[in-house]
């Protein structure tokens, strides 16, 4: 079982931006690495990119979506952020084996949530909940079968954690494009 966990973590480290530096920092610490802690460090790196990007988009551009080219039906910037937050809650609730602590509406978050302040708070709170879930994982629980939050199939906490720390990068990439299309340099690219 430990070999499977280590292999999954190594694959994750090779595929998600920022995780190599996080793994190196972890190796230098005095604490023994844990499964949950390793995933949580990846989530913290992700959070440090996504939250500032969400905060960088002005309120009057928060509902921006490209219209030139093949962009019919794409999510707006606000919907990208709400989707990341909603799925953070879904994956975390699955890992913890509980219902999300907030009403999600759908994978795109609550339709009634429209202000930038509320959406950014929803995002930040979702990362707090995700950290709690990832920190709860250990070697003995990571591979236990649990109900999938997305249907009747079974999954594992490890699989949910892998998706939780990789899936948001797709939407972060779209957020970056939306920021740049509006003349805003993403915070992670400033000063480089």
- Cβ atoms 75, 83 nearer than 8 A: yes
173 in a domain, yes or no?
Answer: yes
Counting the structural domains of the chain, the total is 1
Tell me the pLDDT tens digit for each residue of 115-171.
999 999 999 999 999 999 999 999 999 999 999 888 778 999 999 999 999 999 999
182 in a domain, yes or no?
Answer: yes
* Helix 35-56 × helix 19-28 angle, to 10°: 130
Instruction: Take residue 129 and report the two structure tokens written for it.
Output: 């909940």
- Across the chain, what does the average pLDDT equal? 87
Backbone phi, psi, residue 134, to 5°: -65, -40
pLDDT score at 149? 85
158 in a domain, yes or no?
Answer: yes
Its sign, for the CA torsion 178, 47, 60, 107, is positive
pLDDT score at 152? 72
191 in a domain, yes or no?
Answer: no
Q: How far apart are CA 56 and CA 3, in angstroms?
A: 41
Output the CA angle 113-116-118, nearest 5 degrees.
50
192 in a domain, yes or no?
Answer: no
Domain enclosing residue 124, as ranges: 2-65+74-186
- Cβ atoms 97, 156 nearer than 8 A: no
pLDDT profile of the chain (192 residues), mean per 10 = 48 48 51 90 96 97 90 92 97 95 92 96 98 96 90 90 96 95 92 66
Percent of the chain whose predicted confidence (pLDDT) is above 70: 84
pLDDT score at 192? 60
pLDDT score at 134? 97
Q: How far apart are CA 39 and CA 96, in angstroms?
A: 14
pLDDT score at 5? 47
181 in a domain, yes or no?
Answer: yes
Give the CATH number, domain containing residue 99: 1.20.120.450
169 in a domain, yes or no?
Answer: yes
Its sign, for the CA torsion 47, 96, 161, 150, is negative
24 in a domain, yes or no?
Answer: yes
């Amino acid at each position: 079982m430990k070999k499977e966990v280590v292999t999954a973590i190594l694959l994750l480290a090779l595929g998600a931006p920022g995780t190599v530096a996080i793994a190196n920092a972890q190796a230098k610490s005095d604490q023994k690495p844990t499964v949950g802690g390793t995933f949580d460090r990846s989530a913290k790196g992700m959070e440090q990119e996504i939250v500032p990007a969400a905060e960088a988009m002005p309120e009057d551009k928060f509902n921006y979506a490209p219209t030139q080219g093949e962009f019919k039906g794409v999510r707006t910037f606000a919907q990208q952020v709400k989707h990341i937050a909603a799925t953070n809650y879904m994956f975390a609730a699955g890992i913890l084996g509980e219902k999300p602590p907030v009403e999600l509406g759908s994978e795109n978050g609550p339709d009634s949530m429209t202000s930038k302040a509320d959406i950014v708070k929803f995002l930040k709170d979702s990362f707090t909940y995700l950290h709690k879930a990832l920190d709860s994982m250990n070697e003995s629980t990571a591979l236990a079968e649990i109900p999938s939050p997305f249907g009747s199939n079974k999954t594992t906490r490890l699989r949910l954690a892998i998706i939780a720390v990789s899936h948001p990068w797709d939407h972060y990439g779209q957020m970056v494009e939306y920021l740049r299309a509006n003349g805003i340099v993403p915070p992670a690219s400033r000063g480089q």
